[in-house]
Homo-oligomer: A and B are copies of this chain.
Amino acid sequence: MNGAESLVATLVDQGVDICFANPGTSEMHFLAALGNNPKMRSVLCLFEGVATGAADGWYRMKDKPASTLLHLGPGLANGLANIHNAKRASSGMVNVVGEHSVSHLKYDPPLTSDIEGLSRPLSHWVRRAESSNTIAWDTAQAVAKAGEHPGQIATLILPGDTSWQQVANVPVLPPAVAAGRKVPSTERVEHVARVLRSGEPTLIILANKATRGAALEKAGRVAAATGAQLGSQFFTARIERGAGRVPIARIPYAVAQAAAFLKDFKHIVTFETREPVAFFAYPDKPSLLKAEGTQVHALVEADEDSELAFDMLLQALGTAGTAPLVQQRIETPVPTGALNPTSIAHALAAALPEHCIVVDESLTTGRESMSLTMGALPHDLINNMGGSIGYATPVATGAALACPDRRVFCMVGDGSAMYTIQSLWTQAREGLNVTTIIFANNSYAILKAEYANMGAGTPNERALSMIDIDKPSIDWLAMATSMGVPAVAVETAESFHKALIDSTREPGPCLIEVRL
Interface set of A (CB-CB < 8 Å, partner B): 21, 23-26, 28-29, 31-32, 34-36, 42, 44, 46-47, 49, 71-75, 77-78, 80-81, 84-85, 88, 100-101, 103-104, 107-111, 113-114, 117-118, 120-122, 160-161, 164, 235, 274, 277-281, 283, 287-288, 385-390, 415, 418-419, 421-422, 425, 428-429, 444, 446-447, 450-451, 453-457, 459-467, 469, 471-476, 478-479, 481-484
A108: B residues at CB distance < 8 A: 274, 277
B280–A463 CB distance below 8 A: no
| Interchain residue pairs A-B with the least CB separation, the first 7 | A35-B463, A472-B484, A74-B388, A104-B281, A77-B80, A479-B482, A117-B121
**A74 surroundings in chain B (CB, below 8 A):** 80-81, 84-85, 386-388
Q: Are B459 and A32 in contact (CB under 8 A)?
A: yes
A49 touches B21 (CB 8 A): no
Inside 8 A of A469's CB, which chain B residues have their CB? 44, 46, 425
| Chain B residues whose C-beta falls within 8 Å of the C-beta of A479 in the assembled complex | 478-479, 482-483
Contact yes or no, B100 A456, CB < 8 A? no
Nearest CB of B to A243, in Å: 30
Are B111 and A387 in touch, CB under 8 angstroms?
Answer: yes
Having A71-B389, A476-B482, one finds 16 other A-B pairs with CB under 8 Å, namely: A24-B447, A28-B451, A29-B454, A31-B459, A32-B457, A34-B462, A47-B390, A47-B418, A74-B84, A77-B388, A78-B80, A107-B287, A110-B385, A418-B422, A421-B421, A425-B472
- Indicate whether A111 sits within 8 Å of B472 (C-beta atoms), given known contacts A31-B456, A446-B25, A459-B35: no
Q: Which of A281, A429, A451, A475 has the most CB of B within 10 A?
A: A281
CA of A470 to CA of B17, assembled, Å: 24
- Of the A-B pairs whose beta carbons lie under 8 Å apart in the complex, a sample of 7, sorted by A's number, is A25-B454, A28-B454, A31-B456, A42-B466, A73-B121, A164-B283, A472-B483
Query: Is the pair A109, B42 in contact by a Cβ cutoff of 8 Å?
Result: no
Contact B111 A466 (CB under 8 A): no
Partner of A474, one of B21, B121, B483: B483
CA of A168 to CA of B260, assembled, Å:
36
Residues of B within 8 A of A446 (CB): 25
Q: Which residues from chain B contact A419 at a C-beta distance below 8 Å? A: 46-47, 78, 422
The reply to whether B475 and A482 form a contact with Cβ atoms under 8 Å apart is yes
A46 to B414: give the CA distance in the assembly, Å: 10
> Given that A25-B450, A121-B117, A388-B111 are known contacts, is A475 also in contact with B466, CB under 8 Å in the complex?
no
Complexed CA–CA distance, A21 and B75 (Å): 22
Set of chain B residues within 8 Å of A47, measured between Cβ atoms:
390, 418-419
Which chain B residue lies CB-closest to A49?
B78
Chain B residues whose CB sits within 8 angstroms of the CB of A281 once the complex forms: 26, 100-101, 103-104, 109, 160-161
For the complex formed by this chain, how many copies does it contain in all? 2
What is the bound-complex CA distance between A415 and B277, given in angstroms? 42
Complex partner residue of A109 from B280, B455, B457, CB under 8 angstroms: B280
CB within 8 A of A110: which of B25, B386, B471? B386
A75 to chain B: which residues have CB within 8 Å? 81, 388
Chain B nearest CB from A398 CB (Å) reads: 17
Query: Which of A385, A429, A461 has the most CB atoms of chain B within a 10 A radius of its CB?
Result: A429
Contact A113:B122 (CB < 8 A) given known A454-B25, A456-B31: yes
Question: How many Å lie between the Cα of A42 and that of B42 in the bound state?
Answer: 41
- Choose from B28, B160, B450, B471 the contact partner of A28 (Cβ within 8 Å): B450
Tell me the bound Cα distance from A122 to B277 in angstroms.
32
Interface contact A425-B474, CB-CB below 8 Å: yes
Closest approach, in angstroms, between the C-beta of A160 and any C-beta of chain B? 5
Which of B111, B460, B474 is the one whose CB lies under 8 Å from A279?
B111
Interface centre among A25, A114, A390 (most CB of B within 10 A): A25
Contacts of A447 in B (CB 8 A): 23-25, 28, 31
Roughly how many angstroms separate A80 CA and B122 CA in the complex, as a whole number?
Answer: 14
Taking a contact as CB atoms under 8 Å apart, the answer to whether A21 and B104 are in contact is: no
Question: Which residues of B have CB within 8 Å of A88?
Answer: 110
How far is A222 from B191 in the complex, measured between Cα atoms in Å?
Answer: 85
Query: How many Å lie between the Cα of A32 and that of B447 in the bound state?
Result: 12
Please report the C-alpha to C-alpha distance between residue A31 and residue B481 in the assembled complex, in whole angstroms.
34
Closest CB of chain B to A113's CB: distance in Å? Answer: 6
